[in-house]
Structure 1
Amino acid sequence: MSLACDLAGRHILLTGAARGLGAVIARHLAEAGAQLTLADILEDEGRAVAGELDADFHRVDLRDPASIEALGAKLEGPLHGLFNNGAIATGIGGIGFEEVDIDTWDRVMEVNVRGTWLMTKAATPALRAAGTGRIVNVASDTALWGAPNLMSYVASKGAVMSMTRSLARELGPDGIGVTAIAPGILTTESTDYVPQARHDQYGTGRAVPGPQPPEDVAGTVAFLLSEAALTLTGQVLPVNRGFVFT
């Protein structure tokens, strides 16, 4: 699929790039001409995607501040974009909020919230150096409509939305734009555990009915990482084919 957005000459870092949405976005950004640095805790899968795209790969553990700091120190040259996609999304739902254990809650918050903050912090010097830095955070529309039985994840993605707005104001004077996408259920392996009833709810509830493949949001992400997207800074875009309107 050809992308209208031209990212030639733009260096972009993607976390959670080894599979699912991250790998799909990486392939589309490469097609749009971007120079990529990929990062993930899954080293073998990540290196395979990087090899396919002639990209650099670094292992990163978003629960480990030292690992994130080390990745930031390895970034070479100016960085034009950061796609904060790494997150815990599987094996943490399907139970009521009273049944969520504290260890699970802390693990989700450490990766999805603290990891996003620290990764942004580590990449900011290189983004400032580029002069046209863009950050795209991956939130979720579950935090917009209040999905039940998914409390730790929903809370973490709500925090990502709030951080996006605050970071937009803090980084705006540096010419850095910060946005978030809020997809619904995408057809990736990370949603295989989701009950069929929830898939059906999305499929019939979207303004454009049916399933939503991860490729569907690639063009939006590519634009948000481009120089032209600065006017959208601070916005959370529900890229869910009309399941939630804002």
Structure 2
Amino acid sequence: MDAMNGLLTGKRVLVTGGARGLGLAFAERIAREGGTVVIADLRDELAAAEAARLAAEGLAVHALSLDLADPESIRSCARQACEVLGGLDGLVNNGAVTDSGGVPAEELEVATWDRVMTVNVRGTWLMTIACAAALRASGRGAVVNLASDTALWGAPRLLAYVASKGAIVAMTRSLARELGDGSVTVNAIAPGLTLVEATEYVPEARHRLYIEQRALQREQVPEDVCGAVLFCLSDLARFTTGQLLAVNGGFVMN
């Protein structure tokens, strides 16, 4: 679609964890649909390189450094994003860590649990709050939180991550009620197992399980999730809030 007539023309969006994987796919699609995007990531050099690559194609993409474990970094990133974009219409809370993958619950270390909760849950909360004033000022603000279908079916040997994504679902509903007074929508997307760098550790048997038990029996790729994110950011979803959309090929039917 022509970016001048795209679904998100004129939208100013911050995507956390945007240097690679799902976040990068979201940022590129948002830009191709006419949006202006800031990708924020702890991997700031990679984020800058990807933003430069996309900008060379004529897309409006910028990069900032972000550490979701650091409250000051979150506040600074939100402030800088608003300055770069001239305001904010959308926030995609994609940044997260897995860390606990493959570890049974009885062997999970407290430090690992705390890190996953700090980045995935506290980071999402603090980033949303840091952006709330700008999103309210937009008059058409939208927050999209990335959950996971692991929280819907209870994936084993992934307890901290699953718990954090379950918290994201619950937080989405509460934040939708709190931010609704400013006409800000808050929705969650729950992707299935997707072929990205962050899932390279997942055993082949788990990939086969997903494929065999999906209604749509194939691997999931980042592009499969982009449509749901674009919808939630767009004006088509202005009366949709507090909802969870599972995008997993029918592995879990929410």
TM range (shorter): over 0.9
Report 1:68-79 matches (<5 A): 68-74=74-80, 75-76=82-83, 77-79=86-88
Deviation of the 1:142 alpha carbon: 0.3
Name the residue aligned to 1:150: 158
Name the residue aligned to 2:231: 223
Name the TM-score, length of structure 1 as normaliser.
Answer: 0.96
Name the residue aligned to 2:219: 211
Tell me, in whole angstroms, the C-alpha distance in 2 between the residues paired with 1:2 and 1:214.
21
Name the residue aligned to 2:58: none
CA contact (8 A) 1:208 1:242 kept: yes
Secondary structure in structure 1 of the residue aligned to 2:38: strand
Counterpart residue type for residue 34 of structure 1: G
Tell me, in whole angstroms, the C-alpha distance in 1 between the residues paired with 2:152 and 2:187.
15
Name the residue aligned to 2:7: 6
Do structure 1's residue 86 and structure 2's residue 130 form an aligned pair? no
CA contact (8 A) 1:138 1:182 kept: yes
Deviation of the 1:198 alpha carbon: 0.7
Structure 2: gaps of 5 or more residues = 56-60
Report 1:130-141 matches (<5 A): 130-141=138-149
Deviation of the 1:2 alpha carbon: 8.2
Deviation of the 1:46 alpha carbon: 0.3
Change (3 A) 1:2 1:193: farther
Name the residue aligned to 1:95: 103
Name the TM-score, length of structure 2 as normaliser.
Answer: 0.93
CA RMSD, 1 decimal: 1.4
CA contact (8 A) 1:5 1:223 kept: no
Deviation of the 1:5 alpha carbon: 5.7
Name the residue aligned to 1:38: 39
Tell me the number of residue pairs that the alignment of Structure 1 and Structure 2 aligns.
Answer: 245
Tell me, in whole angstroms, the C-alpha distance in 2 between the residues paired with 1:73 and 1:210.
41
Deviation of the 1:214 alpha carbon: 0.6
Tell me, in whole angstroms, the C-alpha distance in 2 between the residues paired with 1:111 and 1:180.
17
Deviation of the 1:73 alpha carbon: 1.9
Q: Which of 63, 71, 87 is residue 65 of structure 1 equivalent to?
A: 71
Deviation of the 1:52 alpha carbon: 2.1
Structure 1 stretches of 4+ moved >4 Å: 1-5
Name the residue aligned to 2:54: 53
Report 1:231-246 matches (<5 A): 231-246=239-254
Tell me, in whole angstroms, the C-alpha distance in 2 between the residues paired with 1:227 and 1:125.
19
CA contact (8 A) 1:128 1:174 kept: yes
Structure ranking higher on relative contact order (CA contacts 8 Å, 6+ apart): 1
Counterpart residue type for residue 46 of structure 2: E
